[in-house]
Amino acid sequence: MLAQPDFLLERFVNDVLCEPRAAQVSRDGRSAFTQALAAGADPHWLFTEILWPAAECVQQLRHDDLLRLRPFNQANRTLAILAAQLAPRLGASAISNAGRRLFVAAAPGEPSDLGAQLVSVLAEAHGFSVLFAGAQLTREELMFALSRLEPEALLIHGSLEPSRPGVEDWLLHLQRGRLWPDMQVAVVGGIVSARKGRVMADVESRKPIEVLELLSLCPEYRRPKTSAFPLQLNAEVGIQDDTVKQLMSRHFTSRLHVN
């Protein structure tokens, strides 16, 4: 029998942060992730409801200076290993995106490209042909790559609020360079916040599955210049918001400042 989602996420983040070696969680039959998979948990659910929020939690902990560099890098490696192992089990989406090229990049200022990697894995399961650029991309490099590769869509992942100005700068220069609106632009991750206003891309959501579904279902949608809001699903507050907030505020306080 599977554990409750919030309890499973808590155990999984504990495994990721506290294991002594990066690959140990992927090999350890006692880990929460491996146990859930062996018990018949849906791989897609594990990816979107456990792996994704755990990755966002790790990024936020590092940003808040609650996690030292060594365990941060270790956690990122472990999550990337698990994502690669889970990818072949995700299956194909019912919506076909065959031949549609999606350029995926991490927002400027992000501490790692883990979130962009996870989005890329899901996008490939949705049938996109992914062009993965990773992190630390400059504005000039982005503009050059997009003008040469000419993808149908650009997807920017940002987990941290300080990344917003950099993303907005990218969007401004994409518009000035006339690459947008010809190319559809989407933003995903914690950077999308109703409290702070919209980033103003065509498609936005905190959850990767919602952004990919919108890109799949509405490939021709472009945010009108007079529109105040992008195309966005009405996401309910769920495990990603409540549980991760609790994890950051209380559960790992005594364990984070370790080498």
Query: Which 8-state DSSP code applies to residue 98?
Result: T
pLDDT value, residue 150: 92
Report H helices in the chain. 5-18, 24-27, 32-38, 43-46, 52-63, 69-86, 114-125, 139-149, 164-176, 208-217, 239-246
> What is the pLDDT confidence band of residue 248, given thresholds at 50, 70 and 90?
very low
Question: Per-residue pLDDT tens for 72-90?
Answer: 888 888 888 888 888 888 8
Query: Hey, what are 107's tokens?
Result: 């927002």
Backbone conformation region of residue 189, classed left if phi is above 0, alpha if psi is from -120 to 50, else beta:
left
User: Is 213 buried (19+), middle (13-18) or exposed (0-12) by CB count in 10 A?
Assistant: middle
Q: What is the DSSP string of 161-193?
A: GGGHHHHHHHHHHHHHTT-TTTSEEEEESTT-B
Long-range contacts: 28-31, Cβ < 8 Å, 24+? none
Homologous superfamily (CATH) of 101-217 is: Cobalamin-binding domain (3.40.50.280)
pLDDT band at 6 (very low <50, low <70, confident <90, very high): low
Q: What is the pLDDT of residues 45-65, one digit of tens each?
A: 888 888 898 898 888 888 888
Q: Is the pLDDT of residue 202 over 50?
A: yes
The reported pLDDT for the residue numbered 8 is 63
pTM: 0.79
Better pLDDT: 231 or 169:
169
pLDDT band at 178 (very low <50, low <70, confident <90, very high): confident
Domain ranges within the chain, ordered by starting residue: 5-90, 101-217
Distance CA 252, CA 195 (A): 26
* pLDDT at 129 > cutoff 50: yes
- Cβ neighbors of 200 (< 8 A, separation 6 or more) are 168, 171, 223, 230
